[in-house]
Amino acid sequence: MNKLIDGKAIAATIHEEVRQEIKRIGGRGPSLAFLLVGDNPASESYVRAKKRACALTGITSILRTFPSSLKEMDLLAEIERLACDPSVDGVLVQLPLPPYIDETRIMCALDPEKDVDGFHPLNMGKLMRGIEGGFIPCTPLGIRELLLRSNIEISGKHALIIGRSNIVGKPLAALLMQKREGGNATVTVAHSHSQNLSSIARSADLLIAAVGKKGFVTAEMVKKGAVVIDVGIHHSSEGICGDVDFAGVAPLASHITPVPGGVGPMTIAMLLKNTLLSYKRRVMIHPDEKT
């Protein structure tokens, strides 16, 4: 059995599924607008990768770039314009935003029906309540998809999520405890104030590291046979690495995601799926929906 979960290969399969479905549906095809503020090199590179994936699957993408001196009201005006444009199915504001722009105000200004990132409070609320028909944030959705497509049992397992961000930790907790396939886990969310983290971590069947600290999860924190999912991305002189000390942890884990090539490509694959979903809701009478 191969313990390495190949996110790149799974994402490639999903890209192909999305491409085929877009071809089958026909019509104008889905379109996604990216709003990029400032000159954060990591954000620029993520948006480039997302745009490339759109182009390869038949999604039209629009990029609006703004200087870091952009006024919040001008960003709000652009979001309003895109909300009113019937040819746009998805709007993505790349985060982080410059500190003087109020992220919450921006997220609230998005049209929830075009919020393919799932960050609008209405979509976050739908996820919390288990209501279908919203959008689920791409990284948590990608993690669930990785687990499902790798035939990893989630139901009844103890899932520990390290990190409580709005982008990953909080929505992933809601997703893994949902009463449905890919859910029913016993979820713990740990963070920088958690005490006895190592002992909590050693009781986890499924450990998801989304802390943003390079090599934070070490072998002492992992139970033998646990499934380890690494959400971190850190650029260093030795290349890209994650929140997990891969060399130390891999021998203990039953399954583990690499960095790069694990969760990252799945985030992009889920963005394509969410954009397709938005398009289907817009152009089809009965989209056969399963998020």
**Binding region for ligand GUN (CB under 6 A):** 92-95, 117, 138-139, 167, 267
Least separation in angstroms between CB 5 and ligand GUN:
19
Q: Which is nearer to ligand GUN, 163 or 226 (CB)?
A: 163
Least separation in angstroms between CB 110 and ligand GUN:
10
Least separation in angstroms between CB 119 and ligand GUN:
7
Choose among 101, 97, 141, 102: nearest CA to 118. Answer: 141
Distances (CA, A) of 181 to 139, 187, 250: 18, 15, 27
Contact (Cβ atoms closer than 8 angstroms) between residue 79 and residue 106:
yes
Least separation in angstroms between CB 222 and ligand GUN:
25
Is 85 an active-site residue? no
Is 94 an active-site residue? yes
Least separation in angstroms between CB 179 and ligand GUN:
25
Q: Which is nearer to ligand GUN, 124 or 138 (CB)?
A: 138
Q: Which residue is nearest to ligand GUN (CB)?
A: 95
Q: How many CB atoms lie within 10 A of CB 179?
A: 8
Candidates 89, 111, 115, 117; catalytic one: 117
Q: Which is nearer to ligand GUN, 118 or 215 (CB)?
A: 118
Candidates 89, 94, 126, 205; catalytic one: 94
Q: Which is nearer to ligand GUN, 115 or 205 (CB)?
A: 115
Q: Which is nearer to ligand GUN, 38 or 248 (CB)?
A: 38
Rounded Cα–Cα distance for residues 197 and 221 (Å): 8
Give the residue numbers annotated as catalytic, written as ranges: 50, 94, 117
